[in-house]
Amino acid sequence: MSTRTLYRDALLCTLAGDAGWGLVDNAAMVAEGGTLRWVGAASELPAHLEIDEEYHLGGTLVTPGLVDCHTHLVYGGHRADEFELRLGGAGYADIAAAGGGILSTVRATRMASDERLFADARERAMAMLRGGVTTLEIKSGYGLDFAHEVRCLRVARRIGEVLPLTVRTTCLAAHALPPEYAGQADAYIDHVCSWLPRLAEQDLADAIDAFCEAIAFDTAQIERVFKAARGAGLPVKLHAEQLSCLGGAELAAAYGALSCDHLEYLDAAGVAAMAAGGSVAVLLPGAFYFLRETQLPPVRALREAGVPIALASDHNPGSSPMLSPTLVLNMGCTLFRLRPEEALRGMTVNAAQALGLHDRGRLAPGQRADFVAWPLNHPNELCYWIGQPGACRPFIAGAPWS
């Protein structure tokens, strides 16, 4: 029989309904085998419940564990030099066109040993975990050939094995054109398509992503990747409409994409397609901030169309070198004008949906016992403090992490 654990003396923010914080004061939760079995006011705890283990949460605020549903955590080197160039006036796309940008990280990643990649990615994942993240997506996309993409996906899988958090891996081989295929984008896409069945067979990727942009791949090329993903039985996502509107979101939604991400330039047709296709809109305020973009994603139109909105760090060395989940929440509110409750739903229940996960993101019976105790009095403080709002205590599948 699995251990039955009681957690008491918490202010719960359950997000259990479709709207509202779902606050429960003087609350308790009971978990068994890593799953929540009972959630409610302590005064209503069923009598005669046999409890094996008990945690007192000291009156702290408890939210569902945070879900960071879009990161590029595995890479070599960094791009602080490029940051300086951009501050001096160089454009992100210009740097990419000159062979810098993503390709400079590809060079550093290919040169890094497996151990270096693993040790650096593990540190980054630990920072996320310390910040309250209990489920983390990690994309490849800095290998850009079969062997290096596989290496990066293996490193990502290993992070999920050595740390208690859940890691979902995404193959982003169609991220940029590797130098050995310069001028032959279609040939590179053929190769990428041929890798997908092997990735699925080896269980290395939970989803397939691509970058639809003038500096990356066009919709015809992306569609070929999506067809191959479908053939391999893998769900898709897309980096769409970040720097321009190419109609990527519409295409992705037609392929039942779990999510379309970035979306600053998303148009009305894209919003409608996402609503019809059931794709989550993943907004990435860190990249918007770091690239000093001015085009805001169409938050109001997404809301009105009923498209679930998620927020993520987009952690990567080029456009969003951030490792603070609560700073993502803050930026989602300050930059994109999300309401604090929308922002928190965006890093819990909606982010879980963007990963195809429906067993987490709320505090309710049947959900995983992934939650975080914060030294705060109200969940709006998660969005208010700029960055880390004091040390939090994550519990994963019911067990405290420290």
Which residues in this chain contact ligand DI6 in the complex, by CB under 6 A?
A: 101-102, 105, 175, 211, 239, 242, 287, 314, 316-319
Count of other CB atoms within 10 angstroms of residue 217: 27
Q: Which is nearer to ligand DI6, 101 or 394 (CB)?
A: 101
Q: Which is nearer to Fe ion, 145 or 314 (CB)?
A: 314
DSSP string for residues in 146-207 = HHHHHHHHHHHHHHHHHSSSEEEEEEEEETS--GGGTT-HHHHHHHHHHHHHHHHHTT--SE
Does 137 contact Fe ion by CB under 5 A?
A: no
Q: Which is nearer to ligand DI6, 135 or 242 (CB)?
A: 242
Residue number closest to ligand DI6, CB atom: 318
HSE (side-chain half, CA atoms, 13 Å) at 322: 27
Q: In the complex, what is the shortest distance from the CB of residue 352 to Fe ion, in angstroms, rounded to a whole number?
A: 18
Find the distance separating the first CA and the last CA of the chain, reported in whole Å: 26
> 101 contacts which partner out of ligand DI6, Fe ion, none, CB within 5 to 8 A by kind?
ligand DI6
Q: In the complex, what is the shortest distance from the CB of residue 243 to ligand DI6, in angstroms, rounded to a whole number?
A: 9
Does 314 contact Fe ion by CB under 5 A?
A: yes
> 55 contacts which partner out of Fe ion, ligand DI6, none, CB within 5 to 8 A by kind?
none
DSSP string for residues in 13-43 = E---SSSS--EEEEEEEEEETTEEEEEEEGG
Q: In the complex, what is the shortest distance from the CB of residue 237 to ligand DI6, in angstroms, rounded to a whole number?
A: 11
> What Rg value do the Cα atoms of the chain yield, rounded?
21
SS3 for 78? coil
Q: In the complex, what is the shortest distance from the CB of residue 200 to ligand DI6, in angstroms, rounded to a whole number?
A: 22
- Enter the tokens of residue 196: 């997908």
Q: In the complex, what is the shortest distance from the CB of residue 334 to ligand DI6, in angstroms, rounded to a whole number?
A: 19
User: How many residues belong to the site for Fe ion (CB under 5 A)?
Assistant: 1
> 348 contacts which partner out of ligand DI6, Fe ion, none, CB within 5 to 8 A by kind?
none
Q: In the complex, what is the shortest distance from the CB of residue 319 to ligand DI6, in angstroms, rounded to a whole number?
A: 4
SS3 for 328? helix
Binding site for Fe ion (CB under 5 A): 314
